[in-house]
Amino acid sequence: MSGITVPNSRGLESVDVLAALSEEFAGLTPEIRKAASYVLENPNDVGVSSIREIATAAKVKPNTLVRMARTVGFNGYDEFREPFREQIKRGSVNFPDRARWLQSLGQSGKLGGLYRDMVSSAISNIEDTFGGIDAQSLKQAANAIIKSRNTYTLGVGVNSSNASNFTYLASTGMVNFHSIPKNGSTPIDDLAWADKRDVLIAITCKPYRTEVVDAVKLARKQGVQIIGLSDSAASPIIVGSEHGFVVAADTPQFFPSSVSTIALLETLLSFAIAMATPKVVERVKTFHDRRHELGLYEEE
């Protein structure tokens, strides 16, 4: 098989499998060639469709796909398909393809595998995120927050709730936190009067949201300190920022994971509270005591 051996198949990329299939193409039987032709022209379908669906689309029998897989050195079609499924997990294909892959797991009774992959990715994301961050970096960012006149937290889409939650928790002890964009406003408008005395915590992952990137550019011009949370050190909201944190957002699902983003925000806030004056801790206690007094909690 064209330089590929089955024992190492777990480390293969889908492009390697396609290259091997292309190299063997001329020597395949007409029926297997028909199957290979479909795979070469529609590689994204391999990871999201069942063997019967691929066979129907290629107008061959399922067993032909098995024989095709064996021709290039795999024990069977499932092993042949694995690199394509791994590519989907890493986010190398578009959202609709990943959604179809999730559905195929449910239809084939493999939700146990999905459960395993979700848990594994959540743990790995947290490990990868905090493995690349040291306490000193968090301390410096937290210090900027403590000294700021106002701290704005910006997130849109899935990160809107992450930004709002951070602001809500911070506001139990501090009054200078603002989640943007506000209802009926835009991030740029909300930062109109921000300057060097303020801090902007901006959050966005690929594909980067333009309103977040534009707001960060404007804030920089106004002298605002930027704390950027993104999934790449090359992200436009991290490059050039005073404090940049790379969060791992890989997931088997079809939208970026927020697990590490939430964990990092909670850690950053805990640093800010730990470094703040005793008055902040007392305010947090007063806030929650007031809630109990007003009957906002169900008492045992």
Give the pLDDT of residue 7. Answer: 40
Give the pLDDT of residue 187. Answer: 96
CATH class of 6-109: mainly alpha
Give the pLDDT of residue 114. Answer: 75
Contact yes or no for 100/49 (Cβ under 8 A): yes
18-52 per-position pLDDT tens digit: 888 888 888 999 999 999 989 988 888 888 888 99
What type of residue is 194? A
Give the pLDDT of residue 293. Answer: 85
Choose the CATH number for 140-293 among 3.40.640.10, 2.40.30.170, 3.40.50.720, 3.40.50.10490.
3.40.50.10490
- Of 15, 26, 13, 80, nearest in space to 51 by CA: 80
Rounded-to-integer distance, Cα 63 and Cα 72, Å: 15
Within 10 A of 252 (CB to CB), how many other CB atoms are there?
23
Alpha-carbon distance values, 125 to 20, 119, 134, 248 (Å):
32, 10, 16, 5
The residue written with tokens 């050195």 in the block is: 73
Give the pLDDT of residue 121. Answer: 86
Give the pLDDT of residue 97. Answer: 64
> What are the φ/ψ torsions at residue 225 (nearest 5 degrees)?
-75, 135
- Kindly give the parts of the chain with pLDDT less than 50: 1-9
Give the pLDDT of residue 169. Answer: 92
Where are the chain's structural domains? 6-109, 140-293
